[in-house]
Structure 1
Amino acid sequence: MLNPVASHGALTDTERFMFESWGYLIIPDVLSAEEAQQCLEASVRIHREAKTEGFGQVGRGYESEPALERLMDHPAVLPKIRGLYGDRFIMQSGWNTKQPAFGGMGGWHQDGSGAYNFNKLSFPFIPLVQLRASFLLTDQSQPRMGNMELIPGSHRSQVPLPEALRKEKGDLPIGHVICAKAGSVLLFHNAVWHRTYAHDGDYDRYTMHYIYSPPWVKPSDRLQNSPSFLERTTPLRRALMGEFSRPDAPYGANYDPPPFDDGNGA
């Protein structure tokens, strides 16, 4: 199986071409086994506290779990975000998902907003409004381990996925089941058609998703930032949370980029 595998750090020209062609990249070995285990334990805690049953999705876990907070600006991943967006973007949301043991097949979909779908923003292609970095926290090195399945290049399709296929959760011969170890990251465009693949294991599958967007997009996991979190976190993470000074509203003028540690920030 072909895989759009990327290295750690800055986005290369080849990786940009792969992303534009396929709509996603796979970054292996972002987290060590110990780091992935710490994040997994944090994920179990936040879902236990949220009392999720069956498939569960919990936001803002980064506020209470340092292991998850550190993923927000991970040096293996954040340079890819900058390579695709430039220096001005926010962390729109951070969702931790649990697929339960023996979980079934999910439905095909694109990421977006039911209130105002992203396909209304541009024609013929849906623009990059949500760039998702999914940190795999349980092993998905074989199919049917709660993997993500994507349709390569579907973010450039000018026709929607057939409704019958979506309704029946049917298979496509070009569906790509992502097989990667815990600690890997899947980076993908909001318009790529995707779904959760079946999970045959007797354990819950966990993934931490960080979603990055243009700075004018409203956060979706919070109505406002936690003052206590902002007080204790780093300046870069505060900027990624959207806590920056705007010289003109609504974004009529530029603003200083986040304080990246390579000397190119404000």
Structure 2
Amino acid sequence: MMNPEVAPGPFTDLDRFVFESWGYLVIPDVLTPAEAEEAYEASKRLHASRERAFGQIGQGYHTEPSLERLIDHAAVLPKVRGLFGDRFILQASWNTMQPAHAGVGGWHQDGSSAYNFNQVGYPVPLIQLRASFLLTDQLEPGTGNMELIPGSHRSQVPLPADIRAERGDTPIGHVICAPIGSVLLFHNGVWHRTYRHDGDRDRYTAHYVYSPPWVRAADRFANSEDFLERTTPMRRALMGEFERPDAPYGASYQPLPFG
């Protein structure tokens, strides 16, 4: 199946059409193999102290420079800006590990189980935009890929409960096959799951989730003062460090310091 591939950098009218139609984009060649390998090794360090099972860890940018650099990557941030405008934050950063020889994950939409985004309106609004950096080659199915259902962010009905309960297949599932260093950028409303991993090497993926400035951060209760002090002005702004985010609806939040 074809991939909705777009060029890195500026968000074009065609990018918008493809994203609105499918709910996701694939940006190839964002990281070099060496950069991806550096981020892979950083990911291994993050997960070293936990059990070897599927899981995720937040705030890896605090200790790993190779992961911090991805927060505002020049190939990706213009896409986020094109969809959100000049006011958005890094709502969360999750580093996920799928162990070798693992099965498929469960179908879901991203959001909050406390109040699902599909309760806000139809179509499901864009509240979380996820950029997933592939740190391993996923050139064929069964390599820890992501599987998505194209256009499902606009479906008026949910994925059937029996499919979700059984982690079953669908005739329109799209397994993303892309080389190391690619980025998958997708809408929170797209139904997706982790596809099986038949390989011998654990799969790590670095995820960066962007949201409107009034959305509460998910990987932290507060920002690290040490991190804010040493990082760049853009990354500091993306952490959502502004006065009175509730006054009203982030009105006091200044646009990000784009050049």
Interval containing the TM-score (normalised by the shorter chain)? over 0.9
| Alignment correspondent of 2:170 | 172
Deviation at 1:217, TM superposition (A): 0.2
Matched, 1:73 2:72: yes
- For 1:167, what is the secondary structure of its paired residue? helix
Percent of aligned pairs with the same amino acid: 69
1:64-106, CA deviations, whole angstroms, 9 ceiling, x for partnerless residues? 0000000000000000000000010000000000000101111
Q: Distance in 1 between matches of 2:111 and 2:240?
A: 20
1:87-142, CA deviations, whole angstroms, 9 ceiling, x for partnerless residues? 100000000000001011111110010111111111x2110000000000011111
Q: 1:220 to 1:248 in 2, by over 3 A?
A: closer
| Alignment correspondent of 2:248 | 250
Q: Which runs of 5+ in 1 are unaligned?
A: 262-266
Deviation at 1:247, TM superposition (A): 8.5
Q: Distance in 2 between matches of 1:211 and 1:59?
A: 11
- For 2:48, what is the secondary structure of its paired residue? helix
Q: Which amino acid aligns with 1:58?
A: I
Q: Which amino acid aligns with 2:130?
A: R
1:224-262, CA deviations, whole angstroms, 9 ceiling, x for partnerless residues? 00111111000100000001245971336353211112x
| Alignment correspondent of 1:146 | 144
| Alignment correspondent of 2:10 | 10
Answer yes or no: is the 8 Å Cα contact 2:150–2:172 preserved in 1: yes
Greater Cα shift, 4-13 or 52-61: 52-61
Deviation at 1:204, TM superposition (A): 0.5
Answer yes or no: is the 8 Å Cα contact 2:28–2:181 preserved in 1: yes
Q: Distance in 1 between matches of 2:166 and 2:253?
A: 47
| Alignment correspondent of 2:108 | 109
Q: Distance in 2 between matches of 1:186 and 1:248?
A: 31
1:190-249, CA deviations, whole angstroms, 9 ceiling, x for partnerless residues? 000000000001110000000000000000000000111111000100000001245971
Count of residue pairs the alignment pairs up? 259
Q: Which amino acid aligns with 1:136?
A: L
Answer yes or no: is the 8 Å Cα contact 2:213–2:250 preserved in 1: no
Q: Distance in 1 between matches of 2:206 and 2:93?
A: 7
Answer yes or no: is the 8 Å Cα contact 2:24–2:184 preserved in 1: yes
| Alignment correspondent of 2:28 | 28
Q: Distance in 2 between matches of 1:250 and 1:131?
A: 23
Q: Distance in 2 between matches of 1:255 and 1:105?
A: 40
Q: Which amino acid aligns with 1:219?
A: A
Q: Distance in 1 between matches of 2:235 and 2:46?
A: 21
| Alignment correspondent of 1:95 | 94
Per the normalisation by structure 2, the TM-score is: 0.97
Q: Which runs of 5+ in 2 are unaligned?
A: none
Answer yes or no: is the 8 Å Cα contact 2:242–2:252 preserved in 1: no
Work out which of the residue numbers 203, 206, 211 in structure 1 matches 2:204: 206
Q: Aligned-pair RMSD on alpha carbons?
A: 1.2
Q: Distance in 1 between matches of 2:95 and 2:246?
A: 34
